[in-house]
Amino acid sequence: MALVSTATVASSSYHCDPHLFPGARRSWREPRWSRGGAGARLAVLQRAGGGGLAVLERAGAGAGSAVLERAGGAAAAAARREELVPSGNARNSYEVESLIDRLSNLPPRGSIARCLETARHRLTLQDFAAVYREFSRRGDWQRSLRLFKYMQRQSWCRPDEHIHAIVIGVLGRQGPALLDKCLEVFHDLPAESRTALSYTSLIAAYARNALHEEARALLDQMKATGVAPTAATYNTVLAACARATDPPVPFDMLLGLFAEMRHDASPSVRPDLTTYNTLLAAAAVRSLADQSEMLLHTMLEAGVSPDTVSYRHIVDAFASAGNLSRAAELFSEMAATGHTADASAYLGLMEAHTRVGATADAVAVLRQMQADGCAPTAATYRVLLDLYGRQGRFDGVRQLFREMRTAVPPDTATYNVLFRVFGDGGFFKEVVELFHDMLKTGVQPDMVTCENVMAACGHGGLHGDAREVLEYMTREGMVPTADAYTGLVEALGHAAMYEEAYVAFNMMTEIGSLPTLETYNALAFAYARGGLFQEAEAIFSRMSNNAGIQKSKDSFDALIEAYCQGSRLDDAVKAYMEMRKSRFNPDERSLEGVLNAYCIAGVIDESKEQFEELQSSVTMPSVIAYCMMLSLYARNDRWTDAYDLLEEMKTNRASSTHQVIASLIKGEYDDSSNWQMVEYVLENSTMEGCDYSFRFFNALLGVLWWFGQKGRAARVLDQAVKFGLFPELYRDTKLVWSLDVHRMSMGGALVAVSVWLNKLYDRLVEDEDLPQLASVVVLRGEMEKSTVTRGLPIAKVVYSFLNDTLSASFHFPKWNKGRIICLKSQLKRLQSAVDSSNGSLAAGFVDMTNSRLPAPGSKIYTSEDQLDNGSRHLPDEPLAEEKESELLAL
C-alpha cells in the first residue's frame, strides 16, 4: 500500500507553511517560482541548484522520460518501509473490520465517538494504523482526517508518530492542495517526538508533488534540529531532485547529494540499491554513459549488487549515447573480475540492438552471454525469435528454437511468440503443429495462446483445427473470447460453411462473449466471397441496430465484394461512395473492389480510370488488379491493350511475381523447371491468407481462361485445390455429383466446369454407378429462391457453356434457382453417347489445350454469335417441369 510514493507529478501551485519555511511566506495561488524572501530556505535551494530533471517516470506522468519510474518507485518503497507501513493484504481483526465498516457507513455529520463507543477499550494504536491503511488504499482522506482529529482530542488513543506519518502520507497523495494539511499534522507532533519517520513522510509528500526544493530544505532543517536522516530520507530527496524538469537539476548536484549521503556520520546511512538505481536512471536520461560506468564501478566496490533495473538503466545510457559496443565490453570486463552480469543485463542489451534492427549484434550478445558463463533464459531467446520473425527470417526462427530446446525449456510466452511470428508469416499449419507440440511437452496454453492459434486457423481457413482448439478451451474451463470466436467464424467462412459460421456467431452471445466489429466483419466477408449480399446486409444491419457498432472501412470492403460477387454492380459502386462519405480513406483493397465491379460490368473507360487511380495510390498495383484488366481487355477483344499491359507486367523489375505471372500467361513457363517458379509464386500467395488467395486465384484463372490458356488454367486450379482453397468445389455422393462455383469469377467458374465435365466423361467411360443427378451450384443463400437468378452473369455464362458442350442436358430446377442440374436419365443418354463414340472423344467433353494468343484485332468474344450470353439456352417452363417429375421419387 503506497502511502508515500513519489511517482506522481502534480501542478506547480502548492501550500507553503511560513513556520516550516521561514522567509518564504507566499500563497499557494502564487506562481511556483516567485520568491518571497531570502532566508534559510533560499540558501538551501541555492545549494540544491534549483530546477528539476525529467527522470523518474518510466510511465510518463509529466516527466517526459521512460527511464526512472523504477528508481523513483524504489525510493518511495524505502520511505514506506521507514514509515513501517505493513502490507494492506494482512488480515485485520474483527474489531478493526467492524470499525472500518462503521466509519465507512458514517454520514458526513455523523459522530465518530459513537462508532468507537463499543470498542473503546479494545482498540490499540496498531488497530488504528490498520484503519488508516485501509482508508489510504481507498484514497479516503476525508475520513482519515476526521478520525485523526478525533484521536487528537482523546487521551486513550492520542496519535503517535506512526499514525502521524501515515496520515501525512494519505494527505500527500491528494495533490499540492492538501500540503498545508500535511504540515498541520506534522506540527501537531511535538518537536521532541519527531524522528526520521515523520520527517521522511513529510519529505515524501512534497517530493511526490514535484516540490524538490522544499524536500531538500526539509532535509537540511531535519539535520539542523538534530534529527538524523536515514537512507530512505536521502533516497526520497534524491528521487525528488531527479524528478524535477523545470529546469532540470544538474547531474553534478545529484552527485553532490550522493556524496553527502556517503559521508553522513550515521553508519546506517549508506547508499543502497535504490540510491544507485535513481542515479543510474538520471544518467540514462542524460545519455551520460561515462557516469553510468563510474556509478557501476562504485556500486560494485561498495558491495551492492546490481539488479535488473540497474542493468536496464546502464544499457539505456549507452544506447542513448550511441555506444552499445562499450556496454558489451563492460559486461565482459565484469565477468573477467568475477562480477558476471545476470541474464537481465544481456537481455536489455539485446533488446537495445533489436530496437534498431541490428540482428547480428543481438545474436553476438547471445554468444557473448554464453561465453561469459551466463546461461540464457527463455526471455533471451524470445527477443531473438521475435526479431527474426519481424524480419521474415523464418528459417532462422526454426533453427534458433531448436537451439533453445537444448538449452532451456520453452515456456508459454515463447510459444506465443512463435504462434504470432508464424501466423503473421502465413505458416498457418505450422502454428497448429506447434500447438500440438506444446501440449505434448506439457506447457500450459493460456488465453493469448488460444487466441493466436485461432487467428492463424481463421486466416488459413483451418476450420477443423479451429474447432479442436475451441473444444480444448472448453475442456480446460476457458471461456473463449470474442477474438477466439472470430477466428472460428473466419475459418468456417473460408470453407463456405455459412450455416456453421452463423451458429458459431450466435453461440458467442450465449456464453457472454459479445461479437466485436472484427467478428461482424469476419462473418460479412464470409458471405461476401460467396456473393450472399442479402446476408451481408442483414449482418451489418444487426451490427448497427442491435449492437450499436458502426461500419469500418473493412465493413464497406465486405459489402463491395458481396455486391460484386452477387452481380449487384451499381450497389458496389454506391457502397464505395458511401465509404468515402463516411470519411474512410480507401486503400488498395477498396480500390481493387471497385475495379472488380467495373471489370465484371465490362465498362472499359471506367475500369481504366479506376486502374490509373490505383496506380497513383500505391507503389505498384497487385497482380490481382493486372489480371482483372487483362481479363476485361480479352473479353472485349482489346488485344493490343492487353498485350501492352502484359508487357508492362513482364518488364516490372520491382516484382518477380508480376514477371512470373506474365510469363505464365504467355506460355513461357510450361516446362518442368520453369513451372517450379510458377508453383513457388502460387504457394507464396497462400501465405497471405485465404482471403488474398481466393482473390488471387480467381483473377488468375479468369485471365488464363479468357486468353485461351485452358491447359495452364487447369494446372493452376489443381494447385488451388491442393492448397485447400475452394473446399466446396467437388462433392460426390451416391445421389449427387456436384460442382460448386458460386465463389469463383466467371473465367474461374468456366475453368472449373471444364475440368469437372472431363472428370464426368472419365466416370461415364468407366461405367461407374450413376447418381440421381449431377449439379453445378452457381449461387447460394437467399438468392437460390429468386427467379432472377438465371439472368445473372455467372449463371448465364455457366448455363450457356454447359449446354453448348452437352446439348441441353442441364437445366435450372424449379426447387432451387441457384443450381443447374442434369438428371440421371440425361446422364444415361450421355453415357450411351460416349460408348457409341468409339473413342472419338478420348480427351473428354472439353478440349483443355492451350490456344495460340490471338492476334491484335481478332474477334473472339465480341462476334455476333457470342453476344447472347446464353439466353438462347434458357429452357421453357413446361420442359423444366417435365424434367422435374423425374425427381419426385427421390
Q: Are 642 and 738 within one domain?
A: no
Q: How many domains does the chain have?
A: 2
Indicate the SS3 state at residue 514: coil
Residue pair 562/533 in contact by the 8 Å Cβ criterion: yes
Q: How far is CA 392 from CA 360, 453, 548, 549, 582, in A?
A: 15, 19, 39, 35, 36
The residue out of 676, 699, 721 marking a domain boundary is 676
Count of CB atoms situated within 10 Å of the CB of 283 = 30
Q: Are 735 and 640 within one domain?
A: no
pLDDT: is 793 or 73 the higher one? 793
Q: Are 486 and 598 within one domain?
A: yes
Omega before residue 247 within 30° of 0, cis? yes
Tell me the per-residue pLDDT of 698-753, one tens digit each, with 9 for 90 and over.
Answer: 999 999 999 999 999 999 999 999 999 999 999 999 999 999 999 999 999 999 99
425: its cell numbers: 508469416
Domain that holds residue 505: 482-676
Is 836 within a domain? yes
The values of phi and psi at residue 709, to 5°, are -95, 65
Is 852 within a domain? yes
For residue 831, is pLDDT > 50? Answer: yes
The residue out of 676, 707, 740 marking a domain boundary is 676
Alpha-carbon gap, residue 740 to 717, rounded angstroms: 14
Is 474 within a domain? no
Residue pair 778/728 in contact by the 8 Å Cβ criterion: no
Is 343 within a domain? no
Tell me the per-residue pLDDT of 301-318, one tens digit each, with 9 for 90 and over.
Answer: 999 999 889 988 999 898
Q: Are 737 and 843 within one domain?
A: yes
Q: How far is CA 673 from CA 278, 381, 680, 717, 723, in A?
A: 65, 39, 11, 19, 20
The set of residues, in sequence order, having a beta carbon less than 8 Å from that of 538 and lying 6+ positions away, is none
Q: Are 834 and 766 within one domain?
A: yes
Amino acid found at 352 = A
User: Tell me, what CATH number does 535's domain have?
Assistant: 1.25.40.10
Summarize the confidence of residues 615-644 as an average pLDDT: 96
Q: Are 531 and 647 within one domain?
A: yes
Q: Are 540 and 663 within one domain?
A: yes
Amino acid found at 94 = Y
Q: Are 668 and 777 within one domain?
A: no
Is 383 within a domain? no
Is 605 within a domain? yes
| Nearest in space to 739 (alpha carbons), one of 813, 842, 819, 838 | 819
pLDDT: is 511 or 628 the higher one? 628
Q: Are 661 and 789 within one domain?
A: no
Residue pair 493/531 in contact by the 8 Å Cβ criterion: no
For residue 648, is pLDDT > 90? Answer: yes
pTM, two decimals, is 0.77
Tell me the per-residue pLDDT of 833-844, one tens digit each, with 9 for 90 and over.
Answer: 887 876 565 678
Q: Are 509 and 627 within one domain?
A: yes
145: its cell numbers: 482526517
CA atoms within 13 A on the CB side of 168: 32
Q: Are 566 and 650 within one domain?
A: yes
Summarize the confidence of residues 813-824 as an average pLDDT: 90
Mean pLDDT of the chain: 85
Q: Are 515 and 660 within one domain?
A: yes
For residue 3, is pLDDT > 80? Answer: no
Instruction: Please work out, in degrees rounded to the nearest 5, the angle formed at the alpha carbon of residue 751 by the alpha carbons of 749 and 752.
Output: 65
Alpha-carbon gap, residue 845 to 755, rounded angstroms: 9
Q: Is the dihedral of CA 495, 499, 502, 507 positive or negative?
A: negative
140: its cell numbers: 479516503
